[in-house]
Amino acid sequence: MIHVMEDSRIDFKKYCVLSIWFGCNNKCGICMLSKFKGRLPEMGFDRYRSVLDTIIAGGRFRNLILSGGEVTTFAHLEKYVNYAASLGWFDTIQIQTNGRRLSDRKYLDRLIRCGVNEFFVSIHGIGDTHDRATGIAGSFEEVLRGLANLSLYTVKVISNTVLTKNNIAELKEFLRFVAAHSAEEIHLWNYFPMEPRDTRDLLVRCTDVVRILPELKEIVKAAGKTMVLKSFPLCLYEGPPVFFDSVFPATVLPDLFWREFGKSGFGRCPYRERGECTNLECWGLSSAYMEKYGNERALLKPIGRSIPKATAAG
């Protein structure tokens, strides 16, 4: 039976993302933008003001996300945040960040004074696992200092982890670790190869995720936290406090990104392709996943057209 679970987690339907800058101080191979480095232009301030005017005139979005690239490497970030805050429209101004510059307490303090009140912080493993994912030795320690600094402020913190073959073995240990830090929500993202084949051999099989879900659920429940699995097939849902969610916020990105994104074959599913499942939010599987592991027909199941906040099977 399908039913709706009410919860208080972040609702990305109410957010709009502006990707304003594409420089970065990491070298993450898992990044969806890694192939575009040096090819995407920054959003100039005049364009930024125009887009914000359009958002406000539309009246739909009261929450703003500033992203990139790594926005904390953008020299004018404080100016952009200040301007958005001065409009008096946005309830939330979030930055999506790898967290390294948040280790500088003075810099973090300036961002919060400018108007940032929510932080979406990437952390992809413990110690060397994280450093290998980012390609930067010492980046894990910087993120930890950043999370410690965030705990000193009244701001919302969401952690962001991309699940790959490189970190799934330590996922339970990692979950206990990150739940003990300042993140209120723990987001675990399915890896998006952004190519027709998994040439980096990073994709995790859904059966491996399903096998450990009950244990993950108990870990976050004991910690009093919420975990959200992003862009996994919604029919794999295990139940709160673990949620499956495939909602992306409205995102302003250059056309080049969306052209490449469209070539990657996201949203594949044997039940959708046969018209047996018409759920409009599920991301299903990617072409790279199906080429590697098959269509998972025995694991997946149709869940219909309904678009609940969380899809529960019971």
Q: Is residue 173 part of a domain?
A: yes
Would you say residue 285 lies in a domain?
Answer: no
pLDDT at 8 over 80: no
Report how far residue 191's alpha carbon sits from residue 231's, in angstroms, rounded to the nearest whole number. Answer: 9
> Considering the domain boundaries, does residue 68 fall inside one?
yes
Asked whether residue 132 is domain-assigned, the answer is: yes
314 pLDDT tier (thresholds 50, 70, 90): very low
User: What is the number of structural domains in the chain?
Assistant: 1
* Nearest-10 crossing angle of helices 77-86, 45-58: 30
pLDDT averaged over every residue in the chain: 89
Q: Buried (b) or exposed (e) across 148-183, using 16+ Cβ within 10 A?
A: ebbeebebbbbbbbbbbebbbeebeebbeebbebbb
pLDDT in tens, 199-250: 999 999 999 999 999 999 999 999 999 999 999 999 998 778 888 888 888 8
pLDDT digits over 52-76, tens only?
999 999 999 999 999 988 999 999 9
Cα Rg of the chain (Å, integer): 19
CATH of the domain at 232: 3.20.20.70
Is residue 210 in a domain? yes
- Is 286 among the domain residues? no
CB 228 within 8 A of CB 222: no
Given a contact cutoff of 8 angstroms between Cβ atoms, the answer to whether 105 and 72 are in contact is: no
In the block, tokens 């995102």 appear at 251
What domain range includes position 118?
8-265
Q: Nearest Cα to 12, choosing from 187, 223, 239?
A: 187
pLDDT at 265 over 90: no
Please state, in angstroms and rounded to a whole number, the distance separating the CA atoms of residues 98 and 118. 14
* pLDDT over 60 at 312, yes or no: no
Q: Which amino acid is at 196?
A: P
Closest CA to 10 of 143, 183, 179, 178: 183
State both tokens at 218. 């108990």
Torsion of CA 244, 258, 143, 101, to 10 degrees: -140
Task: Please tell me the predicted confidence (pLDDT) of residue 43.
Answer: 93
Strands (DSSP E) found in 56-170:
63-68, 92-97, 118-122, 156-163
pTM, two decimal places: 0.90
Q: Is 300 domain-assigned? A: no
Q: What are residue 104's phi and psi, to 5 degrees?
A: -90, 105
- CA-to-CA distance for 234 and 194, rounded, in angstroms? 20
Question: Residue 35 — very low, low, confident or very high, per pLDDT cuts 50/70/90?
Answer: low
127 falls within a domain: yes
CB-CB contact of 146 with 106 (8 Å): no
Give the containing element (helix H, strand E) for 237: none
